[in-house]
Structure formats: structure tokens, C-alpha cells
Structure 1
Amino acid sequence: MLLEFEEQEGLIRDRSLLDPNHVVEEDRIVGRDRQLQEVTKMLRVALGDNRPPNLFLYGPSGTGKSLITKAVCKNISQICSSRDIRFGTVEVNCQDLDTLGIAVYELGRRAADEACVDIEVPKHGVATKEKWDELYRIVNENFDSVVFVLDELDMLVGRRDKQDPAFSRLLYQLSRAGANDEMTAHISVVAISNDTKMMELVGSRALSSFTPEDVHFDDYDANQLQSILRRRQDAFHEDVLDDGVISLAAAFAAQTHGDARKAIDLIRVAGELAEREGDSRVRERHVRAAQDKVEKNRVLEVVRGISTQKKLCLYATAAVATETDDETARSTTGYRVYQFLTDSIDADQYHQETYVNKMKEMTTYSLVDFERRSHGPSSGMFLEFQFGERPRTILETLREDSRLEMVAAEEVQSVVRAQVRNEA
């Protein structure tokens, strides 16, 4: 059966071009000329065996921050190799790193991989200082210049009992290592974050030694997303994409923060769906089906691991958003629906402040965002929640939880509509 499928001609010719993390050639990078020039200009000093400045790249997810950094570092590495300069790029995504010690070990392991050597300390059971020493040893013995790329750095919070978050302490150590002669190689740190205010949380000592150059990335618009997809359409065999496929995928992605990763994912999933159906072309209906699948998969990945209380808060708030014209939900209304849900399934019911705090925590998953609002001195303050995905998709996904499925969707809708009318 595998061999039979292998012999069938698919629609996708080069799947690597449909991987958002694949480092593409410079002419495929669209709508980021200014950022590409700035990053190149600042990191290029490594070509003369000098230390590049530290950088802070910030802006929404999927706007080219990691892509441009990787592309520039890849080109620098190739030129340095021809000049007998030992240049390395050590990249880690901080999203899944719990503590500073784990982050330092991961940097050491990635540096060892880049140098094709072994790391000589274990991941657990040794002091963080030993991991720092091993990182310094690997870098000093194998490189003349290293760029540390710390993606989603704001997610590295670490232990709550520490005065500064773990990402602040990591930046301090890395930026001080060269000044203290602990690293003889030239090192530069590229901090990448979706949080525009991350640097406000960096401790004063770390900020003083890190002192980065800032590069801002804004959302892609629909036209830029179309250009990105058109420069990757050779991932498919010639003339298999219907005319409206690229513009529709770009329009969907533009609706949710102009995320290029989402646009590329959409067109990839659409192609895979068409292949599985045995269709000879990728059509607009495949893009629409891909939109539903990509959204649901992402939401499912997030909500699968959250607590029942967070699910109740999220469900109540999304239910309100489905009944408002602009798909937003006031915290006051969401809390009343949350009370109804907890009563319905006989769950613990928290105070409104706790509900609000749990919804605020959802911002770390990029599911929701919020703004503080007021309708005049007599109405009081409330938070207004906006969703990164369609609220209806969030509801459908959450209803896969057996406890939430116990409450009839029509009953929730009736309560929500009554509360929204009261709110008006």
C-alpha cells in the first residue's frame, strides 16, 4: 500500500517550502526589506571577526522575526567559513523551558551540536554554574564568534520566588560573559518576543549590560501575505492551484493578526486535503476546510492541557463573543455566564477577580487579548476580551470535554443572549 501511494503523483512538489520554519532564500522574504537591512547591517560585523551588537526583535507572531534572523545568520556562516572564521548560531525556543538551569543546558547542548562535539554535563543533578561553565568551554574551544538566538524569550519565566524572571537573569549572564572574559569568543544575543513590553520586565542590571538595538516587526497585510504565498507556490506542481486559492488563504491569515505562518500552514493543509481526496487541483473549498482544521488543531493543542476552571472561564467568554457584533466579550458579562456554567455542572465557583485573572493568563497562549474599558463614571471599569481565533471554533473544541458537553449548547446560548441584552 505504501509503494502504491508513493507511485501516485501528488500535488505538492517540495514540502520544505510549505514549512514555516524552513529558512528560505532572500528573494522569498517579502515585505520586510527594512528589517532585513537592519538585522544584516548590525550582524554583518561578524564577517570581520568583530562582536555584533545585541538585538531585540519584537512584534506579533508570524511576522518574520525568526525567519530573517536565521536567513542572515545562515549567510554570515557561509561567508565566515570561506574566511576561516569559526562562526556559530545557537538557537533555542524558550517556550518549553521551565527554569534558568534548563535554558543554560539547552544552550550548551545546541552549541555542542553546532560544533559537532559532545556536551559533558547532565541535564539534571548539577548546579546551574556547572552548566554555564560547560557552555563557556564549548563556545571558547570551538568558535570565534557566536550569535545566541533566544526565540519567544518572554516565555522563560522560571521560579516565581525569584526577584527577576529567568529571561532577565539569562540576558544578564550572557551579556556579561564577554565583559568578564569568561567567553573569549565574540558573542551576541538576539532576543525575540511577541511581547512589545518584554524589556520593561528586564531587571536594571541586565538591561544595563544587554543594551540591545530594537527592530520592530508589524503585521503583514493581505497583499504582503499573497506575495509570500506566490513566492512559495512552486512548492506545488505547475498549474494545480485554482486562481482564488492564494488570495483566500492570505485573506484568512490577514484576519488573524497577519500571521505568515498561518498563511503557509493553510495552503499546505489545503494541498494535503486535496491530495487525500484524489483531486487533481487545490480548490477554494480545500482552503476553507483547511481553515477550520488549522484553527481547531491549534485551539485543541492549547485547551487540552488547561484546567477545568480555565476551560469554564474560556467557554463562558467565547460564548459571549459569538453573540456580539464585533466578537468581543465584556468581563462582567462573561463572569455571569461562567456562574451559570459552574452551577450547571456543580463545579467550584470563583469570585469575579479570579475569573478575570484566569482569562488574563490565556493571553500567554495567544488565544485572547484584552483592553480596559469604561462607559462613563457611573458604569465602572471592565475588561473587554478579543479572540485570536474564531470564538465559535473555541466553543466547538471545548465541548469535546465531557463536563462541558453536559450543558446544552442551546441553553448556554439563551443565557448569553439574555445577558448581552441586559448589558446593552
Structure 2
Amino acid sequence: MGRSVDQDVHAAFIEFRAKDDDKCLSVQCIYCHQTRAKNTSRQKQHLAECTANPNNHVSAIRAQASPGNAVAAPNGYTTPSGPGQNALPGPAGTVVNGVPPSGPSLQTPLQTMTGRPAIPSQTAVAGPSTLTTPARPTAATTTTTTKTPKTAKSTPGTGLPAPPLDDVHASFVEFRAKDEDKCLSVQCMFCQQVRAKNTSRQRQHLQECPQYLAAMKDSIPANNLLHKFDEGEIARSLQLPTPSLELDFRMSIKLNPRVSLGPGLFGERNWVSYVGGSWAGRWGKGAVIPGGQDSQLVVKDLATRLSASYLLQTNDEPPAFICVKTWGWRTGSKDVLEKLQDPAQADSVNPNSYKFRLNIELETGDERYLFVNTLMWVGSGCRRGAEAIYDAYRIL
């Protein structure tokens, strides 16, 4: 059994309220976007004349209308001449001029589905502040009011960006309300609301769906911390990019025995000079020039603050020179750090039993390596008896 004429008419128009305080609904044609007051008879007439309707069955729509609904008056709309005229049978009973004499307004097939939540009425649609009934188009002139749907750049009141197209499709389940339906329906996976399939309106729904917005906020890492920003602050709703690490080079530095300067204002100060060394990585290799040094500050429980400065030389011809600055901490249990202080035992200490972490910066004036001036690295290393080795990870 196919769809009735009234069902076809209602399926071809989107209902909305131009203003929150409007008592009457307005409708918009899904084919040409023309807006008009809700009236079933006039909607039928519009579909019969809509040039944008790909399935414009003029004869089918007019054949099922009673003689009293024929369009004959100059303004395109007839006035009932007696009781019973302009009456059409509809799914909700006898309909006069498209409005039931009593009871709730007509519903679309999706709204009458059992087991599915009803589609909420639209409370706000972008468009003109007042609606007027357009004059009947003539062969000479055709005037239509066209509305262009707008996609918000961000969700109002939340600061969240508008859902991307992939998120829109992934957030709805498609189905057919009836086997004979030509158009698909969709159901929101977050609030289970059902509506006709329309990508723009699905995106608009997500921007207003409390369950979806809550899920998006929870996906922001900063909102999963023990302490959060207050609701409404922009820092709570921004989705920021997450940096990643990529192994860039390894450094091996040969050390002279450390020289202790004795207790200072903040702890024991050690001086460690560099004999030399080597390095190799993704963008080059070369040697560590002798003469660099590490100024160490040993604090409580032998935790050591590291601050080093030294030069690298590349294997190019002519070579390039790169200045390296590192600072960080070597921490762990006191008994493990005591072994690291002894050159005879340091080689036997497992690097996983303590933390050797560095911040690394490179600087050069050589045009071949200028890219290193704006990069950042973090390092993870180990201390041996007469050598320090660390891996440098570029922060992307």
C-alpha cells in the first residue's frame, strides 16, 4: 500500500516556528525552499506547480482532491461556498482547508511511529522575522523567497566547533520507517531522537543535543583531570592538538672526573667537563667538541639538577657547528643514586631503575641546519662511569 497524498505533502515540507511566540506553524518546501504559512491545500497546490520538485505529479495530486478544492479564484485560493466543501479525508479524520476542526495537528509518518520518540517541533529557524503568503506565480513572473541554510561555525554557548561531516554521519543510525518509504529516517545515537535524513539538520541537532555536547566535552583531555575549569570558561571547551614524540638523534658524551665545589646555598655544586664524544641521528652525524661542561647541583637525597652547554661538529665538508644546551634532572632512590656517584659501579646500574630526563635546545647559524633553531626536544638517558648517553625525541 503506497503513501497517501497528504503524507506526500507533509513529507515535502519542513515545519518550524518563525518566532518562539508564534501560535501558527510555518512550512518550507524541501525542493525550492519557499516559505509559507502551514495549510495543506495550499501546500498541495505549491507542489503541483513547484518547478524544483523532481517528482511533480500534478495530475495525481489534483485528481485525488475533491472538486471543492480546485483552484479557480484569481488569487489562487477558493473560499468555501457551503458546509462540507473543501473537505479532504486525512489520516486524522475530516480536514477542512488543511486544518482539523478539533484535536491535535496532523503528524508526519515519523511522528506516528510506535516505539520511536517523536520529532520535536522546530523552535527557531534562520529566516525573515515575518512571514507573508506569497502571491500565486504567473506565467510572466515568478517570485519566490529562498532561504539558504547556514551552518554555525561553533556550537552556541559551548565554544565547541561545529561537528565535522564524519561526526554527523557517525552519530546517526539510518533506517526506513516503512518498507514502502522512499526516504530514509535517522536516529541520534546520543538522545535517540528520530528525524528525516538531512545532513544540515542533523548537524544542527548535534549542536543542540545535550548528550552529544557532554560527550564532546568529556573527550577533551583537560576535562578529565582531577581539577577542571569552571563551566562556561572558554578553556573548558577548546579541543587542542596533542603533541607527539619522534626519536631524532642519540648523543654519547665522554666525561672527565667530576670536580666538587662543596656545599653551596642550594646544595652541593659539581663541575663536569667534557672530553668529547659523538652523535648520530635522522638529519646528520658528527662529533662532540672537547671543552663543554655540565654544572650540577646535588640536592636532598642525591637528586641532581643538570645544566650543560657544549658544541657539536657535523661530518659535512665544510663542517657545521651547532650549540647544544640541556637542562633537567636525574632522580631515583638514594641507594641507586649513590651507585651512580661511584664510577666503578655506575656501569652496572639499570637505566630503568632511575630517571634521567632532559630538555634540549640546538642553535646554529649554518644555513644547512637552520631548521634546528625552532625545534624542541626532550631526552631520556643514562649515566655510566665516564660517559653520559641520551636519546633526543623531537616534539611534534
Range into which the TM-score falls when normalised by the shorter chain? under 0.3
Higher strand proportion (structure 1 or 2): 2
TM-score by length of 1: 0.17
Larger CA Rg, structure 1 vs 2: 2
Higher helix share: 1
